[in-house]
């Protein structure tokens, strides 16, 4: 019985710590932030492409937030910067985007 209680406590603890490994700090109530992920010096940033995913109730996520999709959406061949944007309200609905600039 004690082993089961300790296991349950450990699992709950891991759930609370899971948000610590994100690019943008996780907020329990609200998140609206941006974070720089990468930069390629020497490439001009005249175009912007964005690719997003959505999350519902933290249970279902859908979309394509790959770098390839962001580059295609901005008609970018050479990448200058890669940034990340996140918005989440109460864990009910969230939008997570990869934003790429370049030529």
Taking a C-beta distance cutoff of 8 angstroms, is the pair 96, 85 a contact? Answer: yes
Model confidence band, residue 59 (pLDDT cutoffs 50, 70, 90): confident
Q: How far apart are CA 91 and CA 5, in angstroms?
A: 27
The answer, yes or no, to whether residue 21 has pLDDT greater than 50, is no
Local confidence band at 91 (pLDDT 50, 70, 90 cut-offs)? confident
Distance CA 33, CA 84 (A): 8
pTM tops 0.85: no
Among 31-35, 57-61, 98-102, the range of highest mean pLDDT? 98-102
Contact 81, 45 (CB under 8 A): yes
């Amino acid at each position: 019985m004690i082993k089961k209680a300790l296991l349950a406590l450990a699992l709950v603890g891991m759930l609370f710590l899971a948000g610590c490994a994100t690019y943008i700090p996780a907020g329990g109530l609200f998140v609206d932030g941006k974070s720089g992920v990468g930069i390629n010096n020497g490439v001009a940033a005249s175009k912007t492409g964005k690719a997003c995913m959505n999350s519902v109730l933290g249970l279902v996520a859908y979309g394509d937030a790959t770098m390839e999709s962001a580059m295609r959406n901005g008609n970018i061949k050479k990448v200058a910067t890669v940034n990340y944007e996140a918005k989440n309200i109460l864990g009910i609905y969230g939008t997570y985007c990869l934003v790429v600039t370049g030529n």
